[in-house]
Amino acid sequence: MNTKINELADAVEYRGMSRSGIRRIFGEETYRAVCDLIQARRDATPAPEQTDEELPPSCFCEDCGQVEVESDGDRCERCQRRHVALTWIDATEAACRELCERHGWDMDSTGGGFNTMSRYYTISRMVETDEYGMETADSFKLRISDHGSCYCTEDISLAMEPSGDDHTMETFERRLTR
């Protein structure tokens, strides 16, 4: 058996290294080999004797690898919330891009919040050419985030958990069609 795979499996089982960290650093093939080895070890280990009291979980969060969770492959509460939010943000971004393409707009990323899960975009299109051949652009700012708008510096803010200053996808599409 590959020594590196054994060392990585030990790191997951005994030192709390995350499986997703292995996937990120070493790639899918190594990740699969480590998962297979861990499963083979578990299959070869006899089940512990049952007692009247519940045995504590011994699995760690697949994302952070630091917090114990109820079963293998689960995320801790913090990582699960982050995963749900990132999934929502990615899906919302994809829907916005599709709407922009459908209505003839460009969607360019202008960055994201360093300490937050906010992503910012400039939505723009060329609308007319004047008598000198100069094009006039129409543009606005879009924010997609897991939380409500704090500073209200964007024109449209789509939030997973909206506050009073956020908008809906319908508002975003109406802005694209005016």
Question: Does residue 93 sit in the same domain as residue 63?
Answer: no
Among 51, 75, 99, the domain boundary falls at: 75
Q: Work out how many domains the chain is built from and give that number.
A: 2
Strands, E, within 31-105: which ranges?
59-60, 68-69
- CB–CB of 33/2 below 8 Å? yes
- pLDDT > 70? residue 71: no
pLDDT tens readout for residues 2-40: 888 888 888 877 777 777 777 778 888 888 888 888 888
Pick the closest to residue 10 from 32, 48, 38 (CA basis). 38
Domain boundary, last residue among 45, 75, 105 = 75
What is the domain range of residue 87? 81-177
Claim to verify: residue 104 and residue 141 sit in the same structural domain:
yes
| 162-172 per-position pLDDT tens digit | 887 788 899 99
d(CA 149, CA 136): 29
Q: 165: which 2 tokens?
A: 């200053």
- Looking at 20, 48, 75, which one is the last position of a domain? 75
Strands 68-69 and 119-129: unpaired
